[in-house]
Amino acid sequence: MIRLTRLNKSYPMASSKLHVLKGIDLSIAPGELVAIMGASGSGKSTLLNVLGLLDGYDDGDYHLDGQRIGQMSETKAAGLRASLLGFVFQSFNLIPFKTAVENVALPLYYQEVPRRKRNKLAEEYLDRVGLADRAGHLPRELSGGQQQRVAIARALISNPKVILADEPTGALDSQTSLEVMEVLREINATGVTLLIVTHEREVAARTRRVIRLRDGRIEGDGPPETVFGTASPAPAAFAHVVASTSDSAPAAVLAT
Protein backbone atom coordinates (compact mmCIF):
# COMPACT_ATOMS: atom_id res chain seq x y z
CA MET A 1 0.00 0.00 0.00
CA ILE A 2 2.82 2.41 0.94
CA ARG A 3 6.46 2.12 -0.10
CA LEU A 4 9.22 4.65 0.51
CA THR A 5 12.70 4.16 -0.90
CA ARG A 6 15.65 6.29 0.26
CA LEU A 7 13.32 9.23 0.74
CA ASN A 8 14.79 12.57 1.80
CA LYS A 9 13.07 15.76 2.83
CA SER A 10 14.61 19.07 3.85
CA TYR A 11 13.46 22.61 4.49
CA PRO A 12 15.40 25.73 3.44
CA MET A 13 16.84 27.85 6.23
CA ALA A 14 18.36 31.31 6.03
CA SER A 15 21.75 30.10 4.81
CA SER A 16 21.41 26.31 4.76
CA LYS A 17 18.93 23.43 4.74
CA LEU A 18 17.35 21.53 7.60
CA HIS A 19 17.49 17.84 6.64
CA VAL A 20 14.40 16.34 8.31
CA LEU A 21 13.94 12.91 6.69
CA LYS A 22 17.16 11.08 5.88
CA GLY A 23 16.99 8.17 3.47
CA ILE A 24 13.77 6.64 4.76
CA ASP A 25 13.08 3.07 3.58
CA LEU A 26 9.62 1.91 4.58
CA SER A 27 6.99 -0.51 3.36
CA ILE A 28 3.45 -0.76 4.78
CA ALA A 29 1.13 -3.50 3.56
CA PRO A 30 -2.62 -3.11 3.05
CA GLY A 31 -4.53 -3.47 6.31
CA GLU A 32 -1.63 -2.78 8.67
CA LEU A 33 -2.12 -0.89 11.93
CA VAL A 34 1.04 1.14 12.54
CA ALA A 35 2.17 3.67 15.14
CA ILE A 36 4.84 6.23 14.29
CA MET A 37 6.71 7.50 17.33
CA GLY A 38 9.62 9.77 18.08
CA ALA A 39 10.67 12.81 20.05
CA SER A 40 9.86 16.31 18.89
CA GLY A 41 12.01 17.04 15.86
CA SER A 42 12.40 13.38 14.93
CA GLY A 43 10.56 13.86 11.63
CA LYS A 44 7.34 11.98 12.37
CA SER A 45 4.98 14.84 11.50
CA THR A 46 6.96 15.61 8.35
CA LEU A 47 6.74 11.95 7.38
CA LEU A 48 2.97 12.00 7.87
CA ASN A 49 2.68 15.16 5.75
CA VAL A 50 4.63 13.52 2.93
CA LEU A 51 2.53 10.35 3.16
CA GLY A 52 -0.64 12.48 3.15
CA LEU A 53 0.41 14.40 0.02
CA LEU A 54 0.41 17.59 2.05
CA ASP A 55 4.12 18.15 1.40
CA GLY A 56 6.60 17.04 -1.23
CA TYR A 57 10.00 15.43 -0.85
CA ASP A 58 13.47 16.12 -2.24
CA ASP A 59 14.52 12.78 -3.67
CA GLY A 60 13.90 9.06 -3.36
CA ASP A 61 10.64 7.33 -4.24
CA TYR A 62 7.14 7.21 -2.80
CA HIS A 63 4.56 4.73 -4.07
CA LEU A 64 0.96 4.85 -2.80
CA ASP A 65 -1.46 2.10 -3.82
CA GLY A 66 0.83 1.21 -6.72
CA GLN A 67 1.15 4.80 -7.98
CA ARG A 68 4.44 6.65 -7.94
CA ILE A 69 3.98 9.93 -6.13
CA GLY A 70 6.24 12.60 -7.57
CA GLN A 71 5.90 16.27 -8.35
CA MET A 72 2.24 17.00 -9.06
CA SER A 73 -0.22 19.86 -9.10
CA GLU A 74 -2.26 20.59 -6.01
CA THR A 75 -5.37 19.66 -7.99
CA LYS A 76 -4.02 16.16 -8.68
CA ALA A 77 -2.79 15.77 -5.09
CA ALA A 78 -6.22 16.81 -3.79
CA GLY A 79 -7.85 14.23 -6.06
CA LEU A 80 -5.61 11.45 -4.72
CA ARG A 81 -6.22 12.54 -1.14
CA ALA A 82 -9.98 12.47 -1.73
CA SER A 83 -9.94 9.01 -3.30
CA LEU A 84 -7.32 7.21 -1.18
CA LEU A 85 -6.77 8.97 2.14
CA GLY A 86 -8.65 9.94 5.27
CA PHE A 87 -7.29 12.25 7.99
CA VAL A 88 -7.84 12.46 11.74
CA PHE A 89 -6.28 15.31 13.73
CA GLN A 90 -5.55 16.01 17.37
CA SER A 91 -7.68 19.17 17.35
CA PHE A 92 -10.64 17.44 15.60
CA ASN A 93 -10.93 20.26 13.00
CA LEU A 94 -14.72 20.26 13.12
CA ILE A 95 -16.61 23.28 11.77
CA PRO A 96 -18.16 24.83 14.90
CA PHE A 97 -21.39 26.06 13.32
CA LYS A 98 -22.20 22.76 11.59
CA THR A 99 -23.85 19.78 13.25
CA ALA A 100 -22.15 16.42 13.64
CA VAL A 101 -23.93 15.00 10.60
CA GLU A 102 -23.01 18.05 8.51
CA ASN A 103 -19.36 17.78 9.55
CA VAL A 104 -19.24 14.10 8.63
CA ALA A 105 -20.94 14.77 5.27
CA LEU A 106 -18.51 17.55 4.32
CA PRO A 107 -16.12 15.45 2.16
CA LEU A 108 -19.08 14.31 0.07
CA TYR A 109 -20.15 17.93 -0.42
CA TYR A 110 -16.85 18.57 -2.19
CA GLN A 111 -17.47 15.46 -4.29
CA GLU A 112 -20.83 16.99 -5.30
CA VAL A 113 -22.88 14.19 -3.76
CA PRO A 114 -26.51 15.35 -3.41
CA ARG A 115 -27.38 16.65 0.04
CA ARG A 116 -29.97 14.03 0.95
CA LYS A 117 -27.67 11.18 -0.02
CA ARG A 118 -24.60 12.55 1.77
CA ASN A 119 -26.54 13.27 4.96
CA LYS A 120 -27.99 9.76 4.94
CA LEU A 121 -24.50 8.29 4.57
CA ALA A 122 -23.20 10.60 7.31
CA GLU A 123 -25.90 9.35 9.68
CA GLU A 124 -24.87 5.76 8.93
CA TYR A 125 -21.22 6.50 9.73
CA LEU A 126 -22.15 8.29 12.94
CA ASP A 127 -24.09 5.18 13.91
CA ARG A 128 -21.00 3.06 13.26
CA VAL A 129 -18.99 5.06 15.77
CA GLY A 130 -21.79 5.03 18.34
CA LEU A 131 -23.08 8.58 17.86
CA ALA A 132 -26.40 8.11 16.07
CA ASP A 133 -28.21 10.14 18.73
CA ARG A 134 -25.73 13.03 18.49
CA ALA A 135 -26.22 13.68 14.76
CA GLY A 136 -27.92 17.05 15.30
CA HIS A 137 -25.50 18.33 17.94
CA LEU A 138 -22.95 21.09 17.35
CA PRO A 139 -19.30 20.39 18.30
CA ARG A 140 -19.56 22.53 21.44
CA GLU A 141 -22.34 20.23 22.64
CA LEU A 142 -20.12 17.16 22.41
CA SER A 143 -17.35 15.86 24.67
CA GLY A 144 -13.79 15.61 23.38
CA GLY A 145 -14.14 11.89 22.79
CA GLN A 146 -17.39 12.39 20.89
CA GLN A 147 -15.84 15.12 18.74
CA GLN A 148 -12.99 12.80 17.83
CA ARG A 149 -15.48 10.09 16.86
CA VAL A 150 -17.22 12.59 14.58
CA ALA A 151 -13.82 13.32 13.02
CA ILE A 152 -13.21 9.59 12.55
CA ALA A 153 -16.61 9.16 10.88
CA ARG A 154 -15.75 12.08 8.58
CA ALA A 155 -12.46 10.40 7.64
CA LEU A 156 -14.31 7.17 6.84
CA ILE A 157 -17.15 8.48 4.73
CA SER A 158 -15.14 8.60 1.50
CA ASN A 159 -14.12 4.94 1.92
CA PRO A 160 -10.37 5.65 2.04
CA LYS A 161 -7.81 2.89 1.73
CA VAL A 162 -5.52 4.61 4.25
CA ILE A 163 -6.28 6.71 7.32
CA LEU A 164 -3.54 8.98 8.66
CA ALA A 165 -4.11 10.02 12.27
CA ASP A 166 -1.92 12.77 13.74
CA GLU A 167 -1.96 12.53 17.56
CA PRO A 168 -5.66 11.52 17.54
CA THR A 169 -5.70 11.09 21.32
CA GLY A 170 -3.45 14.02 22.19
CA ALA A 171 -6.31 16.24 23.41
CA LEU A 172 -8.09 13.49 25.34
CA ASP A 173 -7.78 12.04 28.84
CA SER A 174 -6.27 8.60 29.22
CA GLN A 175 -9.53 6.64 29.44
CA THR A 176 -11.08 8.40 26.46
CA SER A 177 -7.84 7.87 24.54
CA LEU A 178 -8.14 4.12 24.96
CA GLU A 179 -11.78 4.23 23.90
CA VAL A 180 -10.91 6.14 20.73
CA MET A 181 -8.13 3.64 20.05
CA GLU A 182 -10.66 0.80 20.20
CA VAL A 183 -12.75 2.61 17.58
CA LEU A 184 -9.66 2.90 15.38
CA ARG A 185 -8.82 -0.77 15.91
CA GLU A 186 -12.30 -1.74 14.77
CA ILE A 187 -11.88 0.39 11.65
CA ASN A 188 -8.58 -1.33 10.94
CA ALA A 189 -10.27 -4.71 11.37
CA THR A 190 -12.44 -3.88 8.32
CA GLY A 191 -9.29 -3.73 6.17
CA VAL A 192 -8.41 -0.02 6.27
CA THR A 193 -4.67 0.69 6.56
CA LEU A 194 -4.13 2.92 9.58
CA LEU A 195 -1.07 5.00 10.52
CA ILE A 196 -1.07 6.80 13.85
CA VAL A 197 1.47 9.40 14.92
CA THR A 198 1.57 9.41 18.72
CA HIS A 199 3.72 10.29 21.72
CA GLU A 200 1.78 7.89 23.92
CA ARG A 201 3.22 4.46 24.53
CA GLU A 202 -0.17 3.16 25.70
CA VAL A 203 -1.66 4.11 22.33
CA ALA A 204 1.22 2.66 20.30
CA ALA A 205 1.03 -0.59 22.29
CA ARG A 206 -2.46 -1.14 20.89
CA THR A 207 -1.21 -1.15 17.32
CA ARG A 208 0.45 -4.11 15.61
CA ARG A 209 3.64 -2.37 14.52
CA VAL A 210 5.65 0.52 15.89
CA ILE A 211 8.05 2.61 13.80
CA ARG A 212 10.32 4.77 15.93
CA LEU A 213 12.10 7.75 14.39
CA ARG A 214 15.17 9.51 15.68
CA ASP A 215 16.81 12.49 13.96
CA GLY A 216 15.06 11.75 10.68
CA ARG A 217 15.95 8.06 10.53
CA ILE A 218 14.14 4.88 11.51
CA GLU A 219 15.77 3.49 14.64
CA GLY A 220 13.18 0.84 15.47
CA ASP A 221 10.54 -1.05 13.52
CA GLY A 222 8.56 -4.07 14.71
CA PRO A 223 5.76 -5.32 16.96
CA PRO A 224 5.19 -3.20 20.08
CA GLU A 225 6.53 -5.91 22.38
CA THR A 226 9.77 -5.98 20.37
CA VAL A 227 10.22 -2.22 20.10
CA PHE A 228 9.26 -1.60 23.73
CA GLY A 229 10.70 -4.81 25.14
CA THR A 230 7.43 -5.69 26.90
CA ALA A 231 4.26 -7.55 26.10
CA SER A 232 1.57 -5.35 24.54
CA PRO A 233 -1.70 -5.11 26.48
CA ALA A 234 -4.62 -7.31 25.59
CA PRO A 235 -7.22 -5.38 23.55
CA ALA A 236 -10.45 -4.45 25.28
CA ALA A 237 -13.71 -5.49 23.69
CA PHE A 238 -14.91 -2.63 21.50
CA ALA A 239 -18.55 -2.82 22.45
CA HIS A 240 -17.71 -2.97 26.17
CA VAL A 241 -15.38 0.03 26.00
CA VAL A 242 -17.85 2.20 24.13
CA ALA A 243 -20.82 1.18 26.26
CA SER A 244 -18.90 1.84 29.47
CA THR A 245 -18.53 5.57 28.86
CA SER A 246 -21.08 8.06 30.07
CA ASP A 247 -20.65 10.31 27.01
CA SER A 248 -21.29 7.59 24.43
CA ALA A 249 -24.33 6.31 22.65
CA PRO A 250 -24.79 2.53 22.29
CA ALA A 251 -22.29 1.46 19.69
CA ALA A 252 -22.92 -0.43 16.49
CA VAL A 253 -19.90 -2.58 15.72
CA LEU A 254 -18.19 -1.32 12.60
CA ALA A 255 -18.85 -3.35 9.52
CA THR A 256 -17.57 -3.23 5.99
Residue 129: inside a domain, yes or no? yes
**Contact between 187 and 156 (Cβ < 8 Å):** yes
pLDDT at 250: 35
- What percent of the chain has a predicted confidence (pLDDT) above 70? 89
66 is a domain residue: no
Lowest mean pLDDT among 87-96, 148-157, 165-174, 229-238: 229-238
CATH of residue 226's domain is: 3.40.50.300
Half-sphere exposure of 129 (CA within 13 A, CB side): 32
Q: Is 178 within the bounds of a domain?
A: yes
| Residue 246 three-state SS | coil
Residue 85 belongs to a domain: yes
Cβ count near 4 (within 10 Å): 23
For residue 185, being part of any structural domain is answered with: yes
Q: Beta-strand (E) ranges in the chain? A: 2-12, 17-28, 33-38, 59-64, 67-68, 85-89, 162-166, 193-197, 209-214, 217-222
Residue 210, domain member (yes or no):
yes
* Domain count for the chain: 1
Specify the pairing of strand 33-38 against strand 209-214.
Answer: parallel
Residue 170 within a domain: yes
Average pLDDT over the chain reads 87
Burial category of 170 from C-beta neighbours within 10 Å (exposed 0-12, middle 13-18, buried 19 and up): middle
pTM score of the predicted model: 0.83
Bridge partners of 197, per DSSP, are 36, 166
Q: What average pLDDT does the segment 234-241 reach?
A: 41
Domain ranges, residue 162: 30-55+71-243
Structural domain contains residue 15: no
